[in-house]
Amino acid sequence: MISLVISLAILIASFFYPKISKVVVNNNSHYTADEIMNLANIHVEQPFFWITSWKSKRLVQDPWIKSAIIYKSWPDTVSIVVKERKPVLTNGLQNFAIDGTILSNVSVERQKALIRFDGWGKPRLDEALDLTKLFEHYDLKRIRYSPSGLTIQIASTELFTPSLDMLKAHWGSFLSQVGKYKYLYFYPWGVSGRNE
């Protein structure tokens, strides 16, 4: 009985002391520090010991947040370190992070800078995301898809390949011919290029 009373007294006391006096948010760019704090359900003057991962679950459930770590520094400081997803690809209606997560609320200006992904037939989002990784150093502008294949536009060259696997099989040829031709075509038997 005494231990129960002591436990209850400690629990009640923890609601009043210590209180959070400072919240530091790191690595955020899409969300403001206040928005991160709201998502994490952490605010100044909250009880320090009552900060839990359960109370902050909205933060890690948000599509823009890839990961989040909350550090408590005795007696009154909480640090929130986030890793945010970034949009890389858009079909004009939806914006995708490199892992395929759909990200909403992308500004019109930011959307204009994303890789354009469009076409017809069976959607080929997984291939488009793999192409985004494959061409990360080649100023990838647009990926168009159709039942016959993928057309990829980089800064100075347009490529056509029936599939991502075919492109990967001839990647060495791409490396040796990129910049020499305006158009490159990938076939099972090899790669051809033209400038007209």
For the chain, helix (H) and strand (E) counts, in that order, are: 7, 12
Give residue 186's pLDDT: 94
The CA-atom distances, in angstroms, between 7 and each of 48, 89, 108 are 17, 53, 54
Give residue 9's pLDDT: 44
Residue for token pair 């002591």: 6
How much is the pTM?
0.84
CB atoms inside a 10 Å sphere around CB 170: 19
Q: Report d(CA 52, CA 36) in Å as an integer.
A: 15
Q: Report d(CA 63, CA 1) in Å as an integer.
A: 47
Q: Report d(CA 39, CA 83) in Å as an integer.
A: 14
**The domain at 87-194 falls in which architecture?**
3-Layer(aba) Sandwich (3.40)
Q: Where are the domains of the chain?
A: 2-84, 87-194
Answer CATH for 2-84 from 3.30.43.10, 3.40.50.300, 3.10.20.310, 3.40.50.620: 3.10.20.310
- Name, in order, each residue with C-beta under 8 angstroms of 189's C-beta and a sequence gap of 6 or more: none
Q: Which amino acid is at 11?
A: L
Mean pLDDT by 10 residues, the chain (196 residues): 53 57 93 95 82 85 95 90 97 95 94 96 93 94 96 94 94 90 92 88
Q: Given the DSSP bridges, would you call strands 95-97 and 87-90 parallel, antiparallel or unpaired?
A: antiparallel
Report the DSSP beta bridge partners of residue 88. Answer: none
Q: Which amino acid is at 137?
A: H
Q: Name the nearest CA neighbour of 81 among 95, 93, 67.
A: 67
Give residue 179's pLDDT: 86
Give residue 103's pLDDT: 97
- Return the SS3 of 50: helix
